[in-house]
A and B are shown apart, each in its own frame.
Chain A
Amino acid sequence: MKKFIKASIFVICFFCLFNFIFLYLGIPKRPIYYFYKEPRNSQDVIYIGGSNAYVHFNPLVAYRNNGFITGMISSDTQPFPLVKYMIKEARKYQKPKLYIIDIANIHYISASEGSIRLATSHMRFSKNKLDALNNVLKYSKIPKKDYLSYYFDFLTYHSSWKYINKNVVDNSELYKGFLLADVNTKMVKQEKFIWNSKSIPLSEKSKSCLINLIYYLKNNLSSDEKVLFVIPPRFYETKLMGNLNDASKIITEHNFEIINFNTLDDYEANYTLEFYNKQHLNVLGATRFTKYFSEYISQKYDLPDHRGNKKYSSWEKEYHRYTENYKEIMGKDFILK
């Protein structure tokens, strides 16, 4: 019995050490990692999508402006087959009133290694993670012999000890899921983009993923949980634009709301000042976009105001850190209003 207890303690210590070490030996942390850090049932909105989500929408701005709390579950080029599982994951920890689903990656079905890993690596180990991986790997061209390394990340990331640095240890570039780094503080003039409303049918796989997602939402979400699909402001290739028009049609047919930020009358991205590349708003553009969007959803979905609530003091602290670092990077104060 004594030996059994000793062995059990040894194994427990091993797993604690293992978890601690592999917290830092891994792929760069993306917003989903910080999603788990928030208290249970504390978030009003869950925002799911690719880099457009966590580069365009600043939860701190939304909180400061309208008082609601947003959880970001996004990662670079998040493969579309994962969206359903991200919602499932969100529902395990939060009871949000609204899910915002960015569909700019609706065509991204056969995902690359990097995008799958960035999206799933920091998901907590559960049946849902296994299902998510099964689903996304099924569509990918990843060799089957490498599948195991997606379920057990350490098989790939054990060698990342070479890249350990301060930034990896405390990923200071993310602020409640919003990115503020050198890259998105640049201002690169873009050609004005004009939306074309011509529809191009989605591929079979994209359509099947979208329908599957819609049925999941219809069959599982309560009446208190709303869904809003978005097409973020940016440049799109003709085919993707056509696909998004087709997707919009399907979404509307199933009675879900969708906003296309490229066709609104009262919001238009500034292609001279607000982008750092064709697909992404810079921090100025993100602030204006967030202000507009948070105002809209706050009113439409009756979201609560947590400003001044001590329970959410971490948001005030993080906002303070954000403004300080913004000043350091941009050389001027962050102006919200």
Chain B
Amino acid sequence: MILTSLTFLLFCIITILIYFLVPKKLQWFVLLLSSIFFLFYNNLRVDTLIYVLLTLMTVYICALLIDKYSNTKKSKWILIGGIVIVLGQLSFLKYTNFLLVTINHIFHLVGKNFEFNFNTRNVPIGVSYYSLIMIGYMVDVYRGLCKSQKNPLKCALLMSYFPILNSGPFIRYPDMENKLYEKHKFNYDNLCRGLIRIFWGLFKILVISQRLAIFVDAVYGNYTTYYGFYIITATIFFTLQLYTNFSGSIDIIMGISKIMGIELPENFRSPFFSKTITELWRNWHITLGAWLKDYVFYPLMKSNIIQKIGTKTKKKFGKKISKKITLYISMLIMWTLIGVWHNGAYTFIIGSGILQFIYMVLEDLLTPIASKVNKKLGINPETFGYKLYQRLRTFLLFSFSMIFFRATSVANAIDIIKYMFVMNPWILLDHTSLYSIGLDVLDFQVMIYSIIVLFIIDYLKLKGNVIDKIFNQNLVTRWIIIYLLIFAVIIFGLYGPGYDSATFIYRQI
């Protein structure tokens, strides 16, 4: 069930209607039933149901036991056991093939003619999201941040809340406990704000992302024909496609939740206005970054191994360098995990993992040097021009890493990069060149104007809540803005026969 499909729209309308019609104490149960329906509708079968139930039972029992044996060694072992089962299952479902491919590669490299066969496995929707959410829940109970949920059905809702199964965001039990299970009254204001958010999400996906996808697919599919600046343009477009696609889905999800009175954590904060890669990742997929920081990075930094490495390196290189080494090792592990989480493929590990790590290390090492150079040359880093340069640099570096994200294999990515360095900038001025790649002049113009609107809104977001700003306008202005948004989606959106429903790049199974 794709977020932009009429089926999903109908499903949400029915869910929301029932949600507000039943007695309030049953509202959470309606959400649970809808979520179960959603899981089954999205290809949940008996074989995959076992995985879902196994995760649920494991987490439910472990959390209860952790609570029971809190502050004892037992609770730690129960937590570890729970994490191993959930992660083991996630790895089995998502990464077995990746592992087999790697082993096959190794066999190939050492000259053995043996190959493991692998097959596609039916995987429950949202497994990447709910597995981490449930691990987070067990850790939070272990840390005493919350009590374990005694009702297994309520625990099941935390795991399967349908809006987040498509593309997140990651939720945490202590934040969501009250929101998910408490009674919600219908609120007209929430409805209006939710609908605006949904239409903004649809605008991003159907008007911008779908058009960008046509161009990107055409270029990446024929990069030997469309080389040089075609690839550069397509790479920039792919970054925008990824952003509009992913943040658009989050907007739809948040809008639906908002209507039901359930506030979800923000997942994006105008990332392309970031001046560094570190800042960009603080504003991009915020909940994943925060989850990994809290449940992987900090525990890792405090772990015995890293501490030991710290002590050893401190003796050899001194305190400052030792700190950097331990930090970089933890970062490398975390970024590799981010890459692996995105998908079990080397392209993802490099594109959204290792390269980001390299950028950040370079950033950390070069920032003091850059400050000194700026001082010597009398460059004021607070000027508009300098900030613009920093933002552009960050955006381009991030876009470059996305080549790996988009490519079909590492070899393919390297090939694309090779073809990218061919000088043909005139294609940007010769309009007919760009207009011949899947999009005609009018579609291209709509896409560019929409991207400008997107950046303006993202800029306004930095200054405050845009929906609040709309609601502060007088009735006529407010309605005009809302009508413009709705009709922009209806008229300029790419949907209906002839267009496949938007495929969600970030849709994690």
Contact = CB atoms under 8 A, between A and B. Distances in A.
A156 interface: yes
Given A149-B497, A155-B497, A161 B492 contact: yes
B188 A158 contact: no
Nearest to A150: B497
A156 B494 CA distance: 10
Contacts of B443: 162
A158 B442 contact: no
Interface string A3-33: 1001100100110011001000100000000
Given A155-B495, A156-B497, A14 B483 contact: yes
A182 to B, nearest CB: 26
A253 interface: no
Contacts of A154: 490
Contacts of A6: 475
Given A3-B188, A25-B491, A13 B479 contact: yes
B496 A161 contact: no
B188 A7 contact: yes
A50 to B, nearest CB: 24
B493 interface: yes
Contacts of A148: 6
Determine which residue in A3, A6, A155 has the highest number of CB atoms from chain B within 10 A of its CB, and name it. Answer: A155
A10 B486 CA distance: 12
Contact of B486 (A7, A14, A156): A14
B483 A159 contact: no
Interface string B477-509: 001001100110011111111100000000000
A124 B427 CA distance: 48
A10 B495 CA distance: 25
A191 interface: no
A158 B496 contact: yes
A146 B482 CA distance: 29
A21 B483 contact: no
A7 B490 CA distance: 20
A156 B496 contact: yes
B487 A10 contact: no
Contacts of B486: 14
A158 B497 contact: no
Contacts of B491: 21, 25, 158-159, 161
Interface in B1-26: 6
A309 B502 CA distance: 57
Contacts of A18: 487, 490
Contacts of B188: 3, 7
A146 B498 CA distance: 9
B490 A158 contact: yes
A156 to B, nearest CB: 5
Given A7-B188, A10-B479, A162-B442, A21 B497 contact: no
A18 to B, nearest CB: 8
Contacts of B498: 156
Contacts of A13: 479, 483
B487 A17 contact: yes
Contacts of A21: 487, 491
B35 to A, nearest CB: 26
Contacts of B440: 162
A3 B494 CA distance: 33
A162 B446 CA distance: 11
Determine which residue in A6, A21, A159 has the highest number of CB atoms from chain B within 10 A of its CB, and name it. Answer: A159
Contacts of A25: 491
B497 A146 contact: yes
B212 to A, nearest CB: 17
Nearest to A7: B188
A155 B491 CA distance: 9
Nearest to B492: A161
A14 B442 CA distance: 25
Interface in A95-144: none
Contact of A17 (B483, B492, B495, B497): B483
Contacts of B487: 17-18, 21
A169 to B, nearest CB: 16
A158 B486 CA distance: 12
A154 B487 CA distance: 11
A158 B487 CA distance: 10
A140 B483 CA distance: 37
Contacts of B497: 146, 149, 155-156
Contacts of A14: 483, 486
Given A6-B475, A159-B496, 14 more contacts: A3-B188, A7-B188, A14-B486, A17-B483, A18-B487, A25-B491, A155-B496, A156-B497, A156-B498, A158-B491, A158-B495, A159-B494, A161-B491, A161-B492
8 contacts: A7-B188, A10-B482, A18-B487, A158-B496, A159-B491, A161-B491, A161-B492, A162-B442
What 3 A-B pairs are tightest by C-beta distance, nearest first? A155-B496, A146-B497, A3-B188
